Amino acid sequence: MDNARLFLGIALVFVLFLIWQAWMEEQMVATPPQTETFQPDVSDGVAAGAPPAPASELIAPLPSGVAPQPEEASPAGQRVRVTTDQMEAEILTAGGGIRVLRLRQYPVSLERPNEPYTLFSDESAHFFIAQSALHAPGAEAPGLSAVWRSADSEYGLAEGQETLVVPLTWKSAGLKVTRTYSFRRDSFLIEVSQTVENHSGETWSGYQDRRLQRVRPPHQGASLFPTSTQEIAYTGAVISTPEERYEKISFDDMEKAPLDRPAKGGWGAMIQHYFVAAWIPSEEENNRYYSIANRGHYTLGITGPVVTVADGATAVYSSRIFAGPKLQDRLEAVAPNLKLTVDYGKLTILSQPLFWLLQTIHDVVGNWGWSIVLLVVLVKLVFYKLSETSYRSMANMRKLQPRLQSLREKYGHDKQKLNQAMMEMYKTEKINPLGGCLPIAVQIPVFIALYWVLLESVELRQAPWILWIKDLSVPDPYYVLPIIMGASMFVQQRLNPAPPDPIQARIMMALPLVFTVFFLWFPAGLVVYWVVNNLLSIAQQWLITRRVERGAVLARK
């Protein structure tokens, strides 16, 4: 096997890797836009879709009821608007859930700097909301359709104020429930408490239900060849339990079989590219995780333990919602394993230290583009000796090309004699034709891990580099970097031994053009990585090739 075949194989492996990612997205059925907002039709405040289970003092039953029906519009109710330094939220008194949440420090794009990114929305095409309820079988309770009251319609975090409290109240037959949302300055964490005051004259028992409900993103499954990182990154549900710290529950999984998983503590989230929303119960709470798939709407829910409240007594149910960007340091501080929602896939064990190194470099240089450049330089230095072995093998093979060509002409189509003659020549010259394989193969997982770091890190979103590169998370607007990348691939090919097979040679010549076209839609940060890696490889390969050729000349003298 010669080194030309090796490089062709590596290139094809990378292309196939990207095509496989796109194919996985293609298999997920895209949901057509809805013309109305989906709302469950509930009789006791409990939406349907999940199987019933017996009640327990330790683990609550799964919610059950009649099948939900779509309505023409959002349920009637007052919208309570909440503004902090990080969020703009809208809580609907009909249901008491968070229907809209915008991230003020994360604009939609650089072209629309004053328009915050919308994470939660009750618009039908982008439906994604957070809900909570209390269920009390056989008794009154504020379910998903309960109408709450708010003293004000506007709440704002004042200058110098650290915490903003938004209370909602619900009353019925001697039972009073106060749902309180607590927002904090410079935080994406929302604390949610539900205080039950029982003056009904009898004992009341109920449990808490927390849900994230959404539709598939419009782009999912849109094309075989993705033109944006959003089509490659995973969008769907994730749960974390003591038994499985990070488990994906895709929309297809929900349709095949509903989730029903008892667990202590943990969390449940809906994740997408760069952003996450997660319900986080108490670590000591015995919960049941469940899912519902109903006509294009997907729900991930968590029910807590049944709590009994005596007449005249008070009980408090507590939870937290994290809704914001996937900033690893913040996620790690909120809950165990929550930072795994920065989904690096199977190579997390390599991607995590690479991200740490990238962030450490950024803390020094203050620019994510130059941080990528320096990270690639450091990775190349770590693998310098392995790369040197590979390039030296290629240089030696290049030196033997005239003699190999003579052997092919001498033996013609006699493959057996040709191979024997070639192996004899390799043995005489003390050259291992496979010498370049292992060093490069060892580096492939690291390069793919770095690819995922650059793909998943929200820190690179709208981060500038130099000149015309104003956002490393979107394609180069003038296609300069992809063209440089293609040119660097062409130069690398000229430094490699020429493939003996004419068809193989034509394929190799076409690869730089294919990759250039492919990379036109890649985020600039990823292309920067490939360009710098290619240029450093060219410099190292040229230097080693020159040394080998100079040594051969001196040996002949």
* pLDDT tens track for 78-91: 999 999 999 999 99
Q: Which residues make Cβ contacts (< 8 Å) with residue 126, sequence separation at least 6? A: 118, 215, 217, 218
Whether residue 308 is found in the same domain as residue 379: no
Structure-token pair, residue 107:
């604009």
Do residues 237 and 286 lie in contact, with contact meaning Cβ atoms separated by under 8 Å?
Answer: no
Nearest Cα residue to 163 out of 189, 201, 144, 142:
189
Question: Hey, what amino acid is at 106?
Answer: Y
Do 332 and 478 share a domain, yes or no? no
C-alpha 109/C-alpha 130 separation (Å) is 25
Is 193 found in the same domain as 327? yes
Residue in 216, 357, 365 with CA at minimum distance from that of residue 295: 216
Count of positions (residues) in the chain: 557
pLDDT higher than 90, residue 69: no
50 assigned to some structural domain: no
Domain boundary among 343, 369, 400: 343
Which pLDDT tens digit goes with each residue over 6-34?
444 445 455 444 444 443 433 333 333 33
Domain identity same for 103 and 16: no
Residue 264 has pLDDT above 80, yes or no: yes
User: Which of these ranges, 145-149, 187-191, 199-203, 220-224, has the smallest mean pLDDT?
Assistant: 220-224
- Shared domain for 334 and 370, answered yes or no, is no
The verdict on 13 and 67 lying in the same domain is no
**pLDDT value at residue 333:** 95
- Domain shared by 199 and 289, yes or no: yes
The per-residue pLDDT for 61 is 53
As a whole number of angstroms, the distance between CA 233 and CA 344 comes to 9
Q: Domain range for residue 451?
A: 3-20+352-556
Q: Does 252 lie in the same domain as 111? A: yes
Q: What is the mean pLDDT of residues 341-360?
A: 91
Specify if 213 maps to a domain: yes
**The total number of structural domains that make up the chain:** 2
Average pLDDT on 342-348 reads 87
Is the pLDDT confidence value at 509 over 70? yes
**Residue 224: pLDDT band by 50, 70, 90 thresholds?**
very low
CATH at 279: 2.70.98.90
Averaged pLDDT, 386-407: 70
52 has a pLDDT exceeding 50: no
Residue 43 binned pLDDT confidence (cut-offs 50, 70, 90)? very low
Residue with the two structure tokens 């017996």: 54
For residues 426 and 324, membership in a common domain is answered with: no
The 8-class DSSP code of residue 147 comes to B
Q: Are residues 279 and 171 in the same domain?
A: yes
Q: Indicate the residue among 315, 343, 371 that finishes a domain.
A: 343
**Domain end marker among 343, 365, 399:** 343
Q: Considering the domain boundaries, does residue 444 fall inside one? A: yes
User: Is 148 part of a structural domain of the chain?
Assistant: yes
CA-to-CA separations, 438 to 7, 425, 455, 541, in angstroms, rounded: 12, 22, 27, 16
Structural domain includes residue 103: yes
517 occurs within a structural domain: yes
Q: Which residues pair with 70 in a beta bridge?
A: none
Q: Are residues 436 and 478 in the same domain?
A: yes
The stretch 162-173 carries a mean pLDDT of: 96
Output the pLDDT for position 491.
87
Residue 304 maps to a domain: yes
Q: Are residues 171 and 90 in the same domain?
A: yes
Q: List 300's β-bridge partners, or say none.
A: 212, 291
Q: Is residue 46 part of a domain?
A: no
Which residues does residue 279 pair with via DSSP β-bridges, in sequence order? 268, 321
pTM confidence score = 0.79
Residues 6+ apart with CB under 8 A from 224: 19, 22, 23, 26
Kind of pairing between the strands at 98-109 and 112-120: antiparallel
